[in-house]
Amino acid sequence: MESRIEYARIWAGTKHKGQYRKYTGEPYIEHPLIVSEMVREHGLSETAIVAAILHDTVEDTDASFEEVLEYFGAEVAEYVWYLTKPPEFVGTRSIRKEHDRWRLSAAPEEVKIVKFYDVMHNAGSIKEHDPELWSSWRHEMQLLFLAMDIHSIIPIMEKHKEFVDSL
């Protein structure tokens, strides 16, 4: 199990090399690694942990779904597809967010949990560093959680009540 996770860490680290988080300036790879650790602590499958590590590679690097499929298998590629934002040519931000909601509403439960932890980790830096974006982003995440039928992951919500209440 550990070898596929380690390979995902190395591959994603290489893909994200030279990228830094917008607000914090830390190496970008730290975000997916933190999300993957949250997913691991939650007790999700190896597939979910690997998908958490890779969740931003296709949208933020030159990685492709075909590479994810080839190197990590169909289930990981499917999870990453659910977690990847639509490209800008799809339309305005509101249209892209609508696509996100539709796609994640049909996602497997583990993907929804990965997305929850992704949102949770992103929320802190957005709230602290970009109060103007925070207001609209917060509303988008509320709509996303409703679309994902967030009630299906109530134990997470209860465990992270302070975060959920902040939305």
Instruction: Catalogue the active-site residues.
Output: 59-60
The answer to whether 129 and 43 are in contact (CB under 8 A) is: no
Can you spell out the DSSP letters for 34-100? Answer: HHHHHHHHHT--HHHHHHHHHTTHHHHSS--HHHHHHHH-HHHHHHHHHHSPPPGGG-SHHHHHHHH
Structure tokens at 20: 């830094």
**Could you tell me the sign of the dihedral formed by the alpha carbons of 42, 46, 49, 55, in that order?**
negative
